[in-house]
Amino acid sequence: MGTVSFWDKDCKHLKTIYLARMPESGKGTLADEVEDELMIALARRPDLHVEFAADGDAHQWSLLEGMALRLPTTATGGVTYMLDFFHAAEYLQLAANAVEGRDSAAARVLAAAWREQVKELDDGAERVLKAMRYYRDRESGLVGSLVDLEKAIEFLAKQAAKGRMEYAAARAANRPIGTGVVEAAAKTVVNTRMKRSDARFSQHGGQTVMIFRTALLSGRFDALSECLKASYTAIVKAA
């Protein structure tokens, strides 16, 4: 699944273009379709700010960063990168569990405090990482897993270094900090329609379903119907 979503200056969601492909190695076709939609939007509105957002998957980020490098020189709205906040929150909870014990009240309180710091403070990620490293260095005080704490530190430090955790700046500019639209799209396009009991789809059949579903959700069903009509219409000479 991929989406190109539009938001106004007050962070009100305006529209989403939905794109979906059956499983494909490298996701190249889907990435090309997302990039095409982005380029069309920027050709019409070069002043739009572009925010690339995803979870922590390295390949997805490689595709998105490649798109950013190919943005037209006429695009003047700026570019930012955003790690889905709820994905970051999972690692904050993982670290809090390592410090205070899994499923403990203290771990939930600590994770909540870290989430607020990361979301509200310009240097929130740095502050939280500093705290995590403090707990790591006094290993004997940990209730949970040192391995989990190291995992959380490594992941979040990498994302912060890439500039993907500037949540406070995004909120101040009324930009989204999560990928909820994409998650909802995956449920609507794939889970609800294609994961029913005993459902089976071939590559071609599944892709056909996805094309119709995404066209409907994107407000393009009539346009798709006209394209299909034109494709299957021919002039037949009388015998």
Q: What is the pLDDT of residues 22-81, one digit of tens each?
A: 888 888 999 999 999 999 999 999 999 999 999 999 999 999 999 999 999 999 999 999
> What one-character DSSP code corresponds to residue 73?
T
- How confident is the model at residue 117, as a pLDDT? 98
**Token reading at 225:** 């119907």
For 66, the 3-state DSSP assignment is helix
Angle at 170 between CA 167 and CA 174, to 5 degrees: 135
Helical residues (DSSP H) of the chain, grouped into ranges: 28-44, 58-69, 85-100, 105-120, 124-137, 146-161, 167-172, 180-186, 192-194, 203-217, 221-231
Give the H or E element holding residue 5: strand 2-7
Using alpha carbons, select from 39, 149, 42 the residue that is nearest to residue 100.
149
pLDDT, one tens digit per residue, over 68-108 is 999 999 999 999 999 999 999 999 999 999 999 998 999 99
Residues with Cβ within 8 Å of residue 151, at least 6 apart in sequence: 91, 94
Q: How far is CA 96 from the centre of its chain?
A: 24
Nearest Cα residue to 183 out of 7, 12, 9, 16: 16
- The fraction of the chain above a pLDDT of 70, given in percent, is 99
- DSSP H or E run through 80: strand 79-83
Q: Which residues contact 123 (CB under 8 A, 6 or more apart)?
A: none
Model pTM? Answer: 0.87
- The CA-based dihedral angle spanning residues 54, 60, 64, 70, taken in that order and rounded to the nearest 10 degrees: -170
The four Cα atoms 37, 43, 49, 52 give a dihedral, to 10 degrees, of: 30
- The pLDDT confidence band at residue 113, using thresholds 50, 70 and 90, is very high
